[in-house]
Chains A and B, each alone.
Chain A
Amino acid sequence: MSDKNDIDHFLNTSGLDSTREQEIGQHIGYRYDVNLVPDLDRLTPYLKEYMAVMGWSDLNWLEDVHLGYEEGKAAVFDRNINGWVQVPDNIELPDNQQDRDMIARELLLKFQMSENHPLVQLKQAYKKF
């Protein structure tokens, strides 16, 4: 069995550790610790500015955003599109999950604020108000 404490476990391995997981070809459970609370000392400048704009004193909904791993790549889950957004290859991942989570939050926000986000088209097509 691989070392699950290795931060790159899901990048370097298939993540199928148990016999059951190997049998079904699918990892059971989350690929990151959903209960990890954020360390506010590690906020990025962009996140600080976002919090100020929204009138929040902490990360609010972003507390539930973590860097995950999908198809062997670092990615962040966007609940608005029910899909994973891959971290661009040119971004070097820090060696700890807290800093990785901050990158995931910033990346997800910038994706959601972008005109390229699928919700922009959906809103135009289906908006009621």
Chain B
Amino acid sequence: MGTLNDEQHKSYDMGMHTEQLTGRTMQKFFSLDEDGGRFTQPYTHDVDFDKKYELDVEGMESSAINTKIRELMVDGYGHIVIKNPLAKHSIFVGMLNRLKVDIEGSLGYFGCGLIDGPNVRISGRVGWSCAENMMSGTVVIEKNAGSSFGAAIRGGDLVCKGDVGSRTGIDQKGGNIIVGGSTGAFSGFMMQRGRMVILGNAGVNLGDSMYDGTIYVGGDVKSYGVDAVPGEMTDMDAKWLENKLNLYGMKAPNGISKMKKIVAGKQLWNYDNLEPTEKKIIL
């Protein structure tokens, strides 16, 4: 801590600096030249994308399905086809590995949650909170999705080619949510970072209370939420959008140049470590 000025002395004397937010830096103990040959974490399973297994899950409980998938990864299977999921809940949850997965059918609630690495394609629909807390990888849904799609997603690409329900990407902390159709109310609610692409229309209160991040909309926006404001589309944005949509065979109905960009107005950026103490004094 450097020299404090008068104002800082006052705040320190009043005990306003109880929470230490810095000092979490790791000391360097590796270099760019080290471990250059590795591309996966030491604790993940070594799988082969060309080694395929067809898993019929009819009659199996969700936990048994997930356990079986983990066993297959241990055995080196890198491509798993799941047949007859029959909209069961919590299928393919907590998979932290590179993997290719084809789900032939629909999923219930919380499908593909907490994943880190896999590439998943779902031929049917998904229920609430698909891919919540996803860390990395790709999840592509060919039909529609329920509410809270990609809740608290942190990374990776989550794609729904149809329509999705309300609160899409609530508390999004990173990654990309791409919707081919329209989204319901409060999409991007409390978004913190990452990007959301809606090719169709967006419901009421889009981006309500968003702290940061970017929302692109191809259709109409019914209404903006608190602190969601129009942003300026840059060449880099357009290039990124074109590349990303091409990856999933999607197109903006009216062209990328006509898409709207929505960002945070940053009027809600009033969080700091003085606030709780100040409130306490006032009370």
Residues of A at the B interface (CB closer than 8 Å) are 14, 20, 22-26, 28-30, 34-40, 46, 49-50, 53-58, 60-61, 63-64, 70-71, 73, 75, 78-79, 81-88, 90-91, 106-107, 109-117, 119-120, 123-124, 127, 129
- Write 15 A-B pairs (CB below 8 A) sorted by A numbering: A25-B17, A26-B272, A29-B269, A35-B195, A37-B237, A58-B247, A61-B137, A63-B195, A64-B194, A79-B154, A88-B28, A88-B31, A111-B30, A116-B29, A120-B41
Instruction: State whether A54 and B39 are in contact (beta carbons under 8 Å apart), knowing that A61-B155, A64-B194, A83-B24 are contacts in the complex.
Output: yes
Are A23 and B32 closer than 8 Å at their CB atoms? no
Minimum C-beta distance from A83 to chain B (A):
4
Considering the complex, give the chain A residue whose CB is closest to the CB of B43: A123
Minimum C-beta distance from A23 to chain B (A):
5
Are B32 and A107 closer than 8 Å at their CB atoms? yes
Are A23 and B30 closer than 8 Å at their CB atoms? no
Are A25 and B8 closer than 8 Å at their CB atoms? yes
Asked if B213 is at the interface (CB within 8 A of a chain A CB), the reply is: yes
Cβ contact of B35, chosen from A23, A82, A87, A114, cutoff 8 A = A114
Are B7 and A83 closer than 8 Å at their CB atoms? no
Instruction: State whether A117 and B8 are in contact (beta carbons under 8 Å apart), knowing that A85-B26, A88-B28 are contacts in the complex.
Output: no
Asked if B119 is at the interface (CB within 8 A of a chain A CB), the reply is: yes
Considering the complex, give the chain B residue whose CB is closest to the CB of A49: B39
Are B41 and A86 closer than 8 Å at their CB atoms? no
* CA–CA, A112 and B271, complex, Å: 31
Considering the complex, give the chain A residue whose CB is closest to the CB of B24: A83
Cβ contact of A60, chosen from B34, B41, B155, B239, cutoff 8 A = B155
With A54-B119, A54-B137, A55-B100 given, name 10 new contacts (CB 8 A): A22-B7, A23-B11, A29-B269, A39-B239, A54-B117, A61-B175, A71-B22, A79-B154, A110-B38, A120-B42
Considering the complex, give the chain B residue whose CB is closest to the CB of A124: B43
Residues of B at the A interface (CB closer than 8 Å) are 1-2, 4-5, 7-8, 11, 16-17, 21-32, 34-36, 38-43, 49, 67, 70, 98, 100, 117, 119, 135-138, 154-157, 174-176, 193-195, 212-214, 236-237, 239-240, 243-244, 247, 263, 266, 269, 271-274
Instruction: State whether A64 and B174 are in contact (beta carbons under 8 Å apart), knowing that A34-B212, A35-B193, A55-B100 are contacts in the complex.
Output: yes
* CA–CA, A78 and B30, complex, Å: 14
Instruction: State whether A26 and B25 are in contact (beta carbons under 8 Å apart), knowing that A49-B39, A115-B42 are contacts in the complex.
Output: no
* CA–CA, A91 and B196, complex, Å: 34
Are B25 and A86 closer than 8 Å at their CB atoms? yes
Instruction: State whether A64 and B38 are in contact (beta carbons under 8 Å apart), knowing that A23-B11, A25-B17, A79-B154 are contacts in the complex.
Output: no
Minimum C-beta distance from A30 to chain B (A):
7
Cβ contact of B40, chosen from A38, A83, A113, cutoff 8 A = A113
* CA–CA, A35 and B172, complex, Å: 13
The 9 closest A-B pairs by CB, nearest first: A61-B155, A61-B136, A37-B240, A113-B38, A64-B174, A53-B39, A83-B24, A84-B25, A123-B43
Minimum C-beta distance from B155 to chain A (A):
3
